[in-house]
Structures are given as C-alpha cells and as structure tokens.
C-alpha cells in the first residue's frame, strides 16, 4: 500500500468528543439537543442507518426520537407527524430517511420540514442558501467529506476535483462545497462518455455512484486523493465502496476505506447540525 489512509472512524471519534463538550455546555443552560428520525418501510439498509443515527445521538448526550411507519402508511399521517415535530420545542432536528416508498412525494415531505430544523439540508430553502454560498445546514455526507479533506491537509484552492455522481444528497452539494473552497469541479455521472479521462486528471476524486468497485487504480492520477462515499453490499455479505480499494491504494496518495471512511463522518455531521440547530434555538430564546 502506498496511499495514506483517511481514517473516518478516528476523525469521527475526535469530532464527536468536541460535540459532546458542546452538548454538555448546552445542557447546563437547560437545553438538550433533540433529533427526530422518521423511517418509513422496512428497507434493511435504511433501518441500519437510522439505528446508527439514533445510537450516535445517545452517545454524545443528545435526545433522539425514532418514529417508524409501515411502508403502506398514508402520506398525510407522516405529514401530520412532521407538523407536530416542527412545533415541538424539544426537537431541534428532523430527518426523514430516504428513499421513501413509491407512493410518497419525497419533495413535498422534505419541504414540510421547518427549514430551521432541516438538519439534512434537503429543504429547497437550505439548498438555495448553500448554492448562494450562505449555508444554513450543509448536507451531512458532503460536509463529512469536506472535514476529511481538511483533516488530511488536502489543498483545495486551484485543485482539480472530480465528483462521480450527481445526486441531491451527495454529488450536487459536494460540487457546491468544493467550488466554494476554490477547487475546479467536474461532475461525472452515468451518462459521462469517458469517465477515466476525467478521473485520471483529478487531484481529488469523490466517488458517489453506488456501483461496487467501479473506480479502479488505472483510472487515477498517481498521488490523487480518493474519498469513497459508496456503501455497497457484495453477494458474500461484505461491504465495499465505489472504489476498488486494492488497486486504487497502489496509485492514490490518500484514500478513505469502506467501511470506516465517510460513513461515520456522515453521522457525525448530522450530530453537528442538530447541535448547531439547538444552539441557534438557545440563542433566539435569550
């Protein structure tokens, strides 16, 4: 292995230690940060993510509420619950785990969350604020990736950054953040004609396509920094990223593993956003 490992577990532990101190300070003022997580249906991956999010809250001393519905729940029921949570002063962050079952209008649901409690940063108002360079909540996964790049000391100004994936959750906000940090950003996706042409000239590659081991070492520039957002389950039950770690680590200068890379940082930044929301609410109360 030639590449340096970008250890998401270690960074997450250090950031969570700082967050726990801030939670403690806020609790001393009589405010416990609270996160509500809504899970609809029985998607096994979503169930694991939600369980991890709720457990992470408890660990840093935050209050958390897990609300589960069967896949065939009426949209109006969930909308009613969100409206109740919007008014609940004990809840500072609300998250609806995606994807939602087919009969849901996901956009409508996300827009029903009060923007000041939208800790995922998916509400149109918050998406717009990020795009204007005035973010209120940075979506958790790209936020985590930025923290990883920062902790690894990766220079961003003037860097060539290639993002593979154009989703609202990762690719698009990632592009905004890297652009704001001074990188020259290219966003590749499933229709890109020659992916390797782009990745081979990148100083930074962020892989977020959801295709196991799609980015191989021969597609990278020697010394490139590779951050792997993918979490894919192989037929043998093992997890792997969108990057072929074994070949990529021989070419890259630094690389994040899966598991133990972006995953723990996504949850950490969700905690950070929830704490931030609670601190803002506390300030407003004063």
Active-site residues, by number, are 53, 97, 120
Stretch that binds ligand GUN, among 96-104, 130-138, 210-218, 254-262 (CB under 6 A): 96-104
Pick between residue 142 and residue 217 the one whose CB is nearest to ligand GUN. Answer: 142
Q: Which is nearer to ligand GUN, 141 or 274 (CB)?
A: 141
Spell out, one character per residue from 149 to 178, where the chain touches ligand GUN: x when CB under 6 A holds, - when not. --------------------x---------
Q: What's phi and psi for 154, nearest 5 deg?
A: -80, 120
The answer to the question of residue 39 lying near ligand GUN (CB under 6 A) is no
Question: Binders of ligand GUN: how many residues, by CB under 6 A?
Answer: 8
Query: Distance between CA 201 and CA 195 in Å, rounded?
Result: 11
**Nearest distance, CB of residue 139 and ligand GUN, angstroms:** 6
Candidate segments 63-71, 92-100, 171-179, 208-216, binder of ligand GUN by CB under 6 A: 92-100
With contact defined as beta carbons under 8 Å apart, do 6 and 254 qualify? yes
Nearer to ligand GUN, 140 or 225 (CB): 140
Sheet of 63-69: strand order equals 63-69, 34-40, 93-96
* Residue 236, helix vs strand vs coil: coil
* Strand 4-5 relative to strand 239-240, pairing: unpaired
How many Å apart are CA 142 and CA 262, to the nearest integer?
9
Q: In degrees to the nearest 10, what's the CA dihedral of 8, 10, 13, 15?
A: -70
Under DSSP, the state recorded for 156 is: -
Pick from 64, 112, 141, 274: which binds ligand GUN (CB under 6 A)? 141
Binder among 116, 118, 120, 276 for ligand GUN (CB under 6 A): 120
116 belongs to the binding site for ligand GUN (CB under 6 A): no
Phi, psi of 15 (to 5 degrees): -65, -40
Q: Which residue is nearest to ligand GUN (CB)?
A: 98
Contacts to ligand GUN from residues 226-265, by CB under 6 A: none
CA pair distance 38, 117, nearest whole angstrom: 13
Strand partners, 37: 66, 95
Phi-psi region of 26 (alpha: psi -120 to 50; beta: other; left: phi over 0): alpha
Cβ-based nearer residue to ligand GUN, 257 or 263: 263
**Residues near ligand GUN, by CB under 6 A:** 95-98, 120, 140-141, 169
């Amino acid at each position: 292995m030639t590449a340096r490992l970008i250890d998401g577990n270690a960074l997450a532990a250090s950031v969570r230690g700082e967050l726990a101190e801030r939670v403690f300070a806020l609790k001393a003022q009589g405010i416990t940060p609270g996160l509500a997580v809504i899970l609809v249906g029985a998607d096994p991956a979503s169930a694991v993510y939600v369980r991890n999010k709720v457990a992470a809250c408890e660990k840093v001393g935050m209050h958390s509420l897990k609300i589960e519905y069967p896949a065939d729940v009426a949209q109006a029921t969930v909308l009613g619950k969100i409206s109740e949570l919007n008014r609940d002063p004990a809840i500072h962050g609300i998250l609806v785990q995606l994807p939602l079952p087919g009969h849901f209008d996901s956009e409508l649901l996300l827009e029903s969350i009060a923007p000041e409690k939208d800790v995922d940063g998916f509400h149109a108002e918050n998406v717009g604020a990020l795009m204007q360079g005035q973010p209120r909540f940075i979506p958790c996964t790209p936020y985590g990736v930025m923290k990883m790049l920062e902790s690894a000391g990766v220079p961003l100004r003037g860097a060539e950054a290639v993002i593979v994936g154009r989703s609202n959750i990762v690719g698009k906000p990632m592009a905004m953040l890297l652009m704001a940090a001074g990188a020259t950003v290219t966003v590749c996706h499933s229709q890109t004609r020659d992916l390797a042409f782009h990745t081979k000239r990148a100083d930074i590659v962020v892989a977020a396509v959801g295709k196991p081991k799609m980015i191989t070492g021969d597609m990278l520039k020697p010394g490139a920094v590779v951050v792997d957002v993918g979490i894919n389950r192989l037929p043998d039950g093992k997890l792997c990223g969108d990057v072929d770690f074994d070949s990529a680590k021989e070419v890259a200068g630094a690389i994040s593993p899966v598991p133990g890379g972006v995953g723990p940082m996504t949850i950490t930044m969700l905690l950070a956003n929830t704490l931030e929301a609670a601190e803002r609410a506390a300030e407003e109360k004063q």
